[in-house]
Amino acid sequence: MTFFRVIGFSVLVLLVYTGFANILPQVQSDPPSEEVVETSGMDMPGMIAYGEKLFSGKGTCTLCHNDLGRAPDLLAMDLAADFSERQEDAGYSGAATGKEGAAWVEAYLHESLVDPSAYVVPGFGKKGTNDTQSPMPVVNAPPIEMDDVQMNALIAFLQDRAGFEPTVALPSAADTPVAPPAGSVEAPEPLAANGVEAIDKFFCSGCHDLEGSEADLGPALNGISARMTRGEVMSAILEPNAVIADGYEADIMPADFSAQMHSSELILIVDYLMGLPQ
């Protein structure tokens, strides 16, 4: 009897919680639809309207840029006054320096989107960083992932709100508005400057015994200049599965160096390898 009373009581408590959860406003959050907006041929008013849509949509700007104090309330404040104040601020030394008027605004806004920590409005920095680091995410990187056309639309929208004539470039047919390909990296990696750097960058020592790594997934490369010509070494790097060395397996060495390597880096590596001792 006790058993049923206890179970009954527990189930009752559970039902109260379940009921409460069900009477609250129900919101289902769907993943953002990759809405392909045809932007080629869009005119400036179209860009401004698109920018406004993005501001509260894909850009998720209103999440922070509102009256709760996390970020400047862009929709409520006097943008024109704020921008001219920012321009005069001796503390500002970002990308917009030296420009005037609407061009200044465009450069400043673009910088705010791709490098928010370049200039942090006093009082809005991450706690403890003394306003040197901004909590704002980089807009053209995940998770927001805006492309150039969308960023221009946002800038046009804000320029318009500030009373300026938008100066952004209108999208051409070449600017197809698709999400950036998966696996895109924010900033291009710097080119290797010498052979050792190139070896490091492409991780050759991970499989070949180079720079003392003693790895043996791939053939030892000491004395390669005696066995292969420059051309053969180059082919071996760019098309590794064409000729497999005795005792080693196919499909282990990455086959996409031709896409990843800059030709200058390829030459550096070949020079380095040809220079290895016997």
Which residues in this chain contact another protein in the complex, by CB under 8 A? Answer: 2-3, 6-7, 9-11, 13-15, 17-18, 20-22, 24-32, 60, 63-64, 68-70, 123, 126-128, 130, 135-137, 141-144, 182-186, 203, 206, 215, 254
Other CB atoms within a 10 A radius of the CB of residue 11 amount to 10
- Residue 155's nearest CA partner among 194, 112, 118 is 112
Phi, then psi, of 127 in degrees rounded to 5: -60, 130
DSSP at 33: P
- Closer residue to another protein in complex, CB, 2/278: 2
Shortest distance (Å) from residue 176 CB to another protein = 19
Shortest distance (Å) from residue 49 CB to another protein = 21
What's the CA dihedral at 48, 51, 57, 61 to 10 degrees? -120
In sequence order, the 6+-apart residues with CB closer than 8 A to the CB of 191 are: 262, 264, 265
Shortest distance (Å) from residue 247 CB to another protein = 20
Shortest distance (Å) from residue 255 CB to another protein = 12
- Closer residue to another protein in complex, CB, 16/169: 16
- Residue 153's nearest CA partner among 170, 141, 128 is 170
- Closer residue to another protein in complex, CB, 193/217: 217
Distances (CA, A) of 90 to 112, 119, 131, 209: 17, 12, 16, 55
- Closer residue to another protein in complex, CB, 14/81: 14
- Residue 96's nearest CA partner among 114, 110, 82 is 110
- Closer residue to another protein in complex, CB, 98/123: 123
DSSP at 32: P
- Closer residue to another protein in complex, CB, 209/228: 209
Shortest distance (Å) from residue 11 CB to another protein = 7
The span from the CA of 88 to the CA of 228, in Å, is 64
Shortest distance (Å) from residue 243 CB to another protein = 22
